[in-house]
Amino acid sequence: MAITLTETAAKHVAGSLSKRGKGMGLRLGVRTTGCSGLAYKIEFADDAKPEDLRFQSHGVTVLVDPKSLPYIDGTELDFAREGLNEGFKFNNPNVKDECGCGESFNV
């Protein structure tokens, strides 16, 4: 079981945490929503909850709640710039189908 970040994503997160001036890492999970069922939830983590699972990737801590892990286990998080747009890209091997707008997925 693992969640990883590309080097580019790790540099972006580390830089954002530094600018923010606080935080221990990134919290990644899923929530039920959208036309395909699940959507990614990502936010800065200021502290860890006792039940959180911790992963280290390129010096960045990623926290995941145990209920989300089966849906995102093996995911690699990347950060990409395409033209004027930039954002995280989820390379999740568990995804079976995504909605047309790319906002949600199912496994």
Share the mean pLDDT of the chain: 88
Provide mean pLDDT across the span 35-62: 91
Closest listed residue to residue 102, CA positions, set 52, 9, 82, 48: 82
Q: Which residues pair with 57 in a beta bridge?
A: 60
pLDDT at 75: 94
Say which residue, 35 or 17, is predicted with more confidence.
17
pLDDT at 66: 95
Pairing of strands 76-82, 4-5: parallel
Look up the pTM and report it: 0.86
pLDDT at 100: 55
Distance CA 90, CA 50 (A): 25
CB atoms within 10 A of CB 53: 16
Distance CA 78, CA 22 (A): 22
pLDDT at 101: 55
Please report which confidence band the pLDDT of residue 7 belongs to, taking 50, 70 and 90 as the band edges: very high
